[in-house]
Every structure is written in structure tokens, then in C-alpha cells.
Structure 1
Amino acid sequence: MTRWRSARAPLIWIALALAIGVPVALAAASEQLAWRDPVYIIAGFAGIIALGLVLVQPLLIGGYLPGLSAYRGRRAHHWIGGALVLAILIHVAGLWITSPPDMVDALTFSSPTPFSPFGVTAMWAIFIVALLALLRRRLGLRPRSWRIIHIPLAIVIVAGSVVHCLLIEGTMETISKAALSALVLAATVKVMIDLQVWRKRRTPRGESAAQQ
């Protein structure tokens, strides 16, 4: 039992690294890259990394990653959120440079491709969450109000990102793409269930005040 506990932490981190790294590595080995220009390739991999970051976010906020205190987990959640915004900006900018008309169609929800609306919807949800996070103190959003806003937007982000990814037939390998998408969904569902339990659990008044 002691050996398992000591090995559990590195195994979790290794599993997370593999969950994100394997799809990236298999995409890097795709034959389709031979016909893509560098800007398009960078944009595509920014999208893959963004999906990996979407997986990390619920793991951080749920406290599932060992070695991180609740405070450090929240701080990392904020920084990963910023990295996610950056990855999305690179993804969109690269696709815009490659094909502006296609991006105009996507951003205006008039693209004939079935995956575009899901990606654009998730993108705007990410931007809204990031903006509200920056203005949270100025807007005076309490933890409960923040959850009411953040959780529905998080659902939109996860659902839109996963559907967007699964519908694209590109450089990502099919099985690893499906596995990463399933992990994103599973992590999100688990943290939402656990947070519901946490909200119903009574906490001492002093602890509750400290959380505020």
C-alpha cells in the first residue's frame, strides 16, 4: 500500500503527459503534414495543445493532480486558462493567415464545414470566461455567482471543443483523438459531480470565511 501511494503521484503525472503527448506525437507523424505550409501546421498544433489544456483545467480545479495544494491548483488553473487563450489565438490567427475567407465564414457561422460552429462557439466561451476572470474583482463576483456563470460556459467550452475535434478529419490520429476527447469529457463530468458534493457539504464558519 505504501509503495502504491508513493508511486501514485508520478503515475498520474505520467498518464497526463501521455494523454496529451501521444496525440501530439501521432499528429506530428501524420503524412498530411507534407502538404501543409508551416503556418497551417502551427495553427493546427495550437488547436491540439488547446484541447490538451482543456483536459488539464478540470483536473486542476478538482484537486486531482498530486503535489499541488488547493491554492496552487487554483493559480495554475488561472495560468493554464491564459495559455489556453493564447493557444486559441494562435490557432485562429494561423488559419486566418492561411485562408481568410474560410475564417470569415467560420466566425460568422456561415461555413459549410460541420465542425466550424462548435469550434467558434467554444472559442467565444473561452474568451468570455477569460475576460470575466480578469474583471472578477472589479465586477464584485462572489464565488457562488462566479460558479453560476463559469460552469455553464465551461460545459460549452468542453462540449464545443470535443465535437469540433472529433468532426475534423485532419492530422490527428483517430484513436488517440477519441481517447483525449473522452478523457476531457470524463474529467469534466467528474469534477462537476465532486463540486456539487462539495457545495452541499457543511464547512466550519471559519473555513467558509477563509474560502471567501
Structure 2
Amino acid sequence: MRAVRVALIWAALAAAILVPMGFAAVSPLHEYRSLTYIVAGFAGIVALGLVLLQPLLIGGYLPGLQGYSGRRTHLWIGGALVAAVLVHVGGLWIASPPDMIDALLFMSPTLFSPFGVIAMWAIFATALFAALRRRSGLAPRTWRSAHMSLAVVIVVCSVVHSLLIEGTMETMSKAALCALVVLAAVKVMAGRVSRKRPAARGESASNPL
């Protein structure tokens, strides 16, 4: 039964990420776009899928990737997320520099642009914090608070950015993927908050002053 459960979990996760990519791959909009633009678009879809993986990894919900292995994979996926965002933004820059300049300066008329830019900077900030964490001597509590705050920004802005875009992704599969991203993030954050409360009560009881 355990093997079946593990297989179902991985199959569901693969479907959640690959089905939207499959629909995007057969979109008729590709006929009017350059290869660079298409690659940039798919990099954005990959990035959204990686955002789904991150809370699942840190929460230990993926079979075989709990504890240390889950945390290490979380770091590697974080690096892959940065790379996907760079390909996404770089490709869009090559395809249309004026549009990207407007987006980066928050002057774009499209509603989805500012959310994408904010998510991008939040992802870069998280990667920078992670890279400098040990060298800077950042306290674990400070790191967790900063990381969780940035994660909220990444999840919210990435989901809003994706939902507002009317592009190659099919509407229902995109909405399902975005909903899973939000649910996974909420699940992990709620679990961490609930674990902190008993500890806080224990500290108060042992040290009333």
C-alpha cells in the first residue's frame, strides 16, 4: 500500500506540473511568436512548477525527500528557480527590450507585469540571503522570518502574475497549478506556526519573567 501511495503522490505532482506545460506546448499562439519568446514563456511555466515544489520539499511531503535530503533538494531547486527566472526574463528582454524596460520600471500598462517583477526580485533576494546566510552569521530565527516573508511574496505575486496573463497556458490547468502552489505554501506555513505556539507556551511557563 505504501508503494501505491508513493506512486500516486509523484504521479499527481507530475500531472500538476506537466499537464499545463502540455497544453501550453500545443497552443496556437506559438505560430505567431519567435523561438526566443516561446522558450522564455516555457521557462516561466517551469518556474511556477518549481515554486510548487519548494514548500512540499521543506515541509517533507515528498516521499524519499524528507529531512536532510529534502532540505538539500530545496536548495538545488531554489537554484533552478533562479535559473528559470533568468531565462524567462532574459528571453523576454531579447524578444522585446522596450516591453521589459517598461516592466522593470513599473511603467508597463499590463496588469500582470508588476507582480512578475516583484516575484522576480523576491526570488533573487531569497537566493542572495541563502548564499550569504552562513557568512553573515544571520540568526536562524531572523533567517526563518525573512525567508517566510519572501516566500509569501513569491507565492502571491507568482500566482497573480500567472493568472492575469492570457497566453499559451490553458485556463483550467493553470488555475489548478496556481491553487496547488497556494495550498502547499499555506499548509507548510500553518504547520510551522502551529509548531511555534507550543514552544512559545513552554518558554513562558518555564520563564515567566
Corresponding residue for residue 147 of structure 1: 144
Within the candidate set 123, 127, 131, 2:120 is matched to 123
Corresponding residue for residue 56 of structure 2: 59
Corresponding residue for residue 96 of structure 2: 99
Is residue 174 of structure 2 the alignment partner of residue 177 of structure 1? yes
TM-score by length of 1: 0.92
Provide, for residues 16-37 of structure 1, a one-character-per-residue CA deviation record: whole Å limited to 9, x for no partner. Answer: 0000000000100101111111
Is residue 26 of structure 2 the alignment partner of residue 32 of structure 1? no
Cα separation, 2, equivalents of 1:129 and 1:88: 13
Cα distance, 1:201 vs structure 2: 4.4
Matches within 5 A, 1:182-197: 182-197=179-194
Cα separation, 2, equivalents of 1:12 and 1:48: 21
Within the candidate set 121, 129, 132, 1:132 is matched to 129
Cα separation, 1, equivalents of 2:182 and 2:149: 14
Identical positions, percent? 66
Corresponding residue for residue 75 of structure 1: 72
Corresponding residue for residue 161 of structure 1: 158
Q: Which amino acid aligns with 1:31?
A: P
Unaligned runs of 5+ in 2: 200-209
Q: Which amino acid aligns with 1:108?
A: L
Task: Detail structure 1 runs of 4+ shifted over 3 Å in the superposition.
Answer: none
- Asked if the contact 2:57–2:66 (Cα under 8 Å) also holds between the matched residues in 1, the reply is no
Range moving further from structure 2, 189-198 or 115-124: 189-198
Q: 3-state DSSP class of the match of 2:60?
A: coil
Cα distance, 1:139 vs structure 2: 1.1
Provide, for residues 136-156 of structure 1, a one-character-per-residue CA deviation record: whole Å limited to 9, x for no partner. Answer: 001111221111111111000
